[in-house]
Amino acid sequence: FKYAGRDVLGTPAVAIGEVHQQECAQILKLAFD
């Protein structure tokens, strides 16, 4: 198994919706590739 989550950050989630959507898309892509 390979970890596909977010890197460690000082906040639990980003406040900018566009950045959050990009992170989610990247995590899903890594999880299923």
pLDDT (tens place) for every residue of the chain, 33 residues total: 778 777 777 777 667 788 888 888 988 888 887
**What burial letters (b/e) apply to 11-28, b meaning 16+ CB within 10 Å?**
eeeeeeeeeeeebeeeee
pLDDT number for residue 21: 87
Domains of the chain, by residue range, sit at 1-33
pLDDT of residue 14: 64
Q: How far is CA 2 from the centre of its chain?
A: 14
CB 4 within 8 A of CB 27: yes
Residue 14, token pair as written in the block: 């980003």
pTM here?
Answer: 0.55
The Cα–Cα gap between 14 and 17 comes to: 8
